[in-house]
Structure formats: structure tokens, C-alpha cells
Amino acid sequence: MILGHIGARKGSKGVPGKNFRDLCGKPLIDWSLDQMLEHPQVDAVVVSTDDEAMYAHAVAKGALDIGLRPAHLATDEAPKWGVWQHALEAGQAALAQNVTAFLDLDCTAPLRLPEDIGGALDLFAAQKPDMVMSVCEARKNPYFNLVEPDETGALHVSKPLPGGVWARQAAPTVYEHAASTYVVDPSYLRRAETIYEGRVIPFEMPPERCVDIDAPLDFKLVEFLMNDRLNSN
């Protein structure tokens, strides 16, 4: 039993109301919600939100009726991990079945494709880690072109290696944590307190599918990329 989850809090300081804001003809949340509801590997979907209108919208589309998110999980400081834990238990109670994988799609990263979801689920099934986390290759590398000042103010490479690294291609691969797609072992989600306590493995996605909306400029960029995709089909 694969339980899909989308967290969509009402408030947002960077882009007010972003999760229910129109993006290329439908609410931002629907780009992820529709993917999840239509995906053949996903058995049921829950939406965790403190917004009554968004909640009613999600349930009408087919999400399980688990009630609104508790107030202590609807603040700016509320950890994603706690939201996931609550959603897992609420979803499993509504289903009255054992959940074998918890799939989270971040609705502020709507550019993923259905094959990204399938790829992450397949990797989880094959490798059996505690968690699969979407990543993309980092645009800047701490072994090569990320620098930081020392106590005198002089700059140095953040993670120096013996002999130095003088070409980007020679630097060790590093990833950006792409807030897009996650698959978590329910037993790990219940017992752990943070993401990285167990064996967390990467699912690499192209950078152009990992853009996360956190500011007005991000929304404009995602809108441009989505329109380009839609007009190319």
C-alpha cells in the first residue's frame, strides 16, 4: 500500500497564498495532486493543510478525508518531518490498511514528470533504504567554486582537497537537496526525528524539473517553464 501525501499550508511569507494560486490554468497544488491521483503505483492520497478551501478541493478530487492539519503543525516553524508523521498515521487510520511506502510530493515543485515519481518508487523498492530523496547536481561545488572567508577575511575554497581542484569536472560530485519527491519507509518515519538519521539515498532529477517556488521570482520562472512545456506538446 503506497500512500501519497501533499503538504500545503495556508500561509506563505515568500509568495502569499502560493499553494492555491493559479499556475497556467489550475491551482499550484493540482499540478502535484493530479500527478499523484493519476499515478498507477499510488494507492491512496492525503493532503495535509490548514486551509479549509484547499482541503475541500483536495477531498473533492479524491484525497482521503483526514481532517485539517493540527494547529501546532501549521506554523512557519513546524518541521516537515512532524507533518509527515501525522499524515501517515491519519492516512493509515482512514485506510485501515498497512502502509508500506510513504510518498511525498512538494506542491511548490510542480515541474516533476510522472516518470520521476515512478523512478523514485522503483528505486525505493529495489534498494530498500530508509528514504529516497530527490536531488539534482549542484550548480556550485564546495571543492571548486564555493568559497568562505577565514578569520582574517581572506577567501578559501570551502572544502579544500590536497593539491587543489582546478577544473569543475575533476571535483567530487555534490548534490542539491531538491524539495520535490520523497519516498519514506513508514517504520523509519515513525521512529526517526529528522531526515538524515537513517540510510537516505539520492534520486537524481534534471535541474529544470527541480525548481522550488520560494519567492515571487521562482513563481515567474516556474510559470515560464511550464508554459514552455505545455506549448511544446
Whether 233 has a pLDDT exceeding 80, the answer reads no
Residue 173 has pLDDT above 80, yes or no: yes
Pairwise CA distance, residues 53 & 218, whole Å: 24
Task: Note whether 148 and 87 are same-domain residues.
Answer: no
Residues 52 and 120 in one domain: yes
Q: For the chain, what is the domain count?
A: 2
167 and 61 housed in the same domain: no
Question: Does position 167 have pLDDT exceeding 70, yes or no?
Answer: yes
Instruction: Please name every residue paired with 44 in a beta bridge, in sequence order, or none if there are none.
Output: 3
107 plus 159 within the same structural domain = no
Q: What is the DSSP string of 81-124?
A: HHHHHHHHHHHHHHHTS--SEEEEE-TT-TT--HHHHHHHHHHH
Does 72 share its domain with 83? yes
Same domain for 192 and 202, yes or no, is: yes
Domain interval for residue 84: 2-138+174-232
The span from the CA of 211 to the CA of 204, in Å, is: 13
Please check whether residues 102 and 207 belong to one and the same domain: yes
Q: What is the pLDDT of residue 232?
A: 87
Per-residue model confidence (pLDDT) at position 14: 64
179 with 128, same domain: the answer is yes
